[in-house]
Structure formats: C-alpha cells, structure tokens
Chain A
Amino acid sequence: MDTHASTTNLPDSAEGQAHAPHDEIEHAHPTWSTYWKVALILTLITVGEVWLYYLPSFVASRGFVPTLLGLSALKFAIVVMFYMHLKYDHRLFRVLFTGPLLIAGMTLIALMFLFGHLHIKIM
C-alpha cells in the first residue's frame, strides 16, 4: 500500500512539545487511492464470502467455517489498519484496542468451551 509522508501531529503548546516524542507521533496516512483500493478489496472479500455461502458442497465441508472466519478476520484487520489508521498511529492506541479485544476473544473462546460448543480431544 502506498503511503505519503505527512506533516506531524505535534501539539503546538510548549507543554505539549516538551512531552511529545517526535518519532512516535510523526506518521504517514494512506493516500486517497489507497482508500479506494482498500474498499475494492473489502468488497471482493465480501462477494467471495457470499459466493461460498451458496456452494452446498463447500458449506458441508470442514473448511467452510474456518474459511469464513479467516475472511472475516482479514476484513476486520484491513479496516482497523487502513481506515482506523492503527497501522500508522501511536503504539498506545494499538494497546488500547488490541488489549480489550484479546481479553474479549479469550472470554468468548472460554465460554464456547464452557457451554460445550468446542471440545478438546483427549487421547
């Protein structure tokens, strides 16, 4: 994805500048053409997901659910990285988002085990 160097996001007060770590705040945002390309990719993935839904042989296969979950995760990551600019923004924002997301994801998996939707095969 092409990016373009941008101006800094530095605060213009003396106090702000005293605390602003230059290299951590300075970042590049994608260009307009990148946004259009991302939208096209998201649309194609969505079309692919719906197409898979209408393939009875694939729906019956073991790969159906993992494939759809993978495509959904890919779309999620693309929006978060390029539209929410998490790829370009400060590391703290990544921590604030991925921390709760990981906790929530682990809670979801634990609940699935607890209520018998997931099983571990013991030899």
Chain B
Amino acid sequence: MATSVVHTSAPAHHHYTALGLDSRKVAIWAFIGSECMLFVSLISTYLIYKGRSVIGPLPHEAWTDPTTGHIYKPILNIPVTSASTFVLLMSSLFMVLALAAVQNKELPKRTRGERILGSSKLWLWMTAIAGTTFLGFQAFEFTSFVHEGLTIRRNLFGSTFFTLTGFHGAHVTAGVLWLVTLLAIDYRRGLTSKDSLLVDISALYWHFVDVVWIVIFTLVYLIK
C-alpha cells in the first residue's frame, strides 16, 4: 500500500504556544513525562523488594509452607502474560492505524484495502477491544493468583506486584474509556482530519501505556 500518512492537525479552535506548537500536545507530553516518574517509582519499589519475601507464593520458585507443608507453585504464568503482551502490542498498531485513518479522512479511497485502512471506526474499535482483552487477561491473572494464595497483603512480592500491575491496569482502563469517547464522537458527527490532534493525544497516551508494559513484562515476568 503506497498511500502516505498525511499530517494535518490544525483544528478550528486551537491554543498555540510561542513555538507554534499546540499547547494540548505539549501538555500531554509533559503529562507522559510525569507518568514516567510515577511508574519508575513503582518499578523501583518492586525491584528493591524483589527476592525479599519471607513467605510464598513466589514469582519464579516453588515454596513449601513450613507450618502446613503446603507446596506453592511458582505463581507467574508466562504463556498467558506473553499472550496479553502480544495483544497490547497489537493494540498500539491498531491505534496508530486509527490516527492515520483520521489524518487521511479526506483522501479518496479507491480500493477495498484503502477503505479498510481508512476506517477510523474499525481501528478505534480494534484498539478498544484489544485493550479490553488485555484487561480480561489481567483480571484472570489476578483472580488465579488470589486463588493460589497470593494477595496484596500476603508478602512483599504480592504488595509490590499488585500495586505496580494494578496501577498499569487502571491506566489501560482509562485509555479504553478515552477510546470509547472518541468512538462516540466518530459515530455522532464523524471524525475528520481536523480532529486528528484529538486522536493523536489519545494515541500518545495509549502508546505510553504500551511502553510501560514492555518494561514491566521484562522486569517482573521474564527476569528471574
């Protein structure tokens, strides 16, 4: 597909900084910068307490309760989390395709492929569904952990793990709600290239949530 992505993000009512940049985009980048600090503080806490839990269940090792003799299996389920990571990565692709579709709204779509790629509703729906699927995976993971004996109050691993991944899940939830509002606008009056900044800002937030998960997946799940 040789169609280019055209960037025309000048809305009718805008707020430009002295540099000629839209202040809303400057604001979302500043917000993302502050969010980096939030998540690094949570990741730091997780890493500081990593391997210091006195009792199990533990992330990568089996643990036998000395009082009851009950054996707790390693709690992390890598295949399930790998699948949810793949879903979130694909959601970033869908989001960027949604943005491209809105930016190119006014371009003529001659072929079926161009019509599919140019459908902002389709890609926004796909992103929202992928985000919701990721949340479903997380709900499944949390529920299975609780059933296996790991709660937020059980040990240091439980406290730091649920806090970190719970905060991330809350951000994904906020992102899905944001996508739903964009879909509502798209169904109500149709998103045009003049609205591309609205979608661009939400896309930046969504991709940020994705990159945070990239880091969490490696540090929490893969590194033993």
| Chains A and B form a bound pair | yes
Using a CB–CB cutoff of 8 Å, the interface residues on chain A facing chain B are: 4-13, 15-17, 19-21, 24-25, 27, 29-33, 35-36, 38-39, 42-43, 46, 49-50, 52-53, 59, 64-65, 68-69, 71-72, 75-76, 79-80, 83-84, 90, 92-93, 96-97, 99-101, 103-105, 107-108, 111-112, 115, 117
Min C-beta distance of A111 to chain B, whole Å: 5
Q: Tell me, yes or no, whether B170 is within 8 Å of chain A by CB.
A: no
Q: Which chain B residues in 29-59 approach chain A with CB under 8 Å?
A: 29-30, 32-34, 36-37, 39-41, 43-44, 47-48, 50
User: Given A46-B82, A97-B33: A11 and B20 within 8 A (CB)?
Assistant: yes
Question: Does B100 lie within 8 Å of A35, measured CB to CB?
Answer: yes
CB pair A79–B210 under 8 Å, yes or no, is yes
Report the 10 A-B pairs with minimum CB-CB distance, sorted nearest first.
A20-B20, A4-B4, A100-B33, A104-B40, A72-B218, A96-B29, A39-B93, A16-B16, A6-B7, A29-B5
Main secondary structure, interface of B, reads helix
CA distance A13 to B22 in the complex (A): 12
Whole-angstrom distance between the Cβ of A110 and the nearest chain B Cβ: 9
Instruction: Compute how far the CA of A101 lies from the CA of B33 in the bound complex, rounded to whole angstroms.
Output: 7
Interface assignment of B126: CB less than 8 Å from any CB of chain A: no
Residues of B within 8 A of A (CB): 1-10, 14, 16-22, 25-26, 29-30, 32-34, 36-37, 39-41, 43-44, 47-48, 50, 78, 82, 85-86, 89-90, 92-93, 95-97, 100, 103, 117, 203-204, 207-208, 210-211, 214-215, 217-219, 222-224
Please name 14 further chain A to chain B contacts, defined as beta carbons within 8 Å, in addition to the given A35-B93, A72-B219, A108-B47, sorted by A numbering: A13-B14, A15-B16, A19-B17, A21-B20, A24-B20, A38-B93, A46-B217, A50-B222, A53-B222, A76-B214, A104-B37, A104-B39, A111-B48, A117-B47
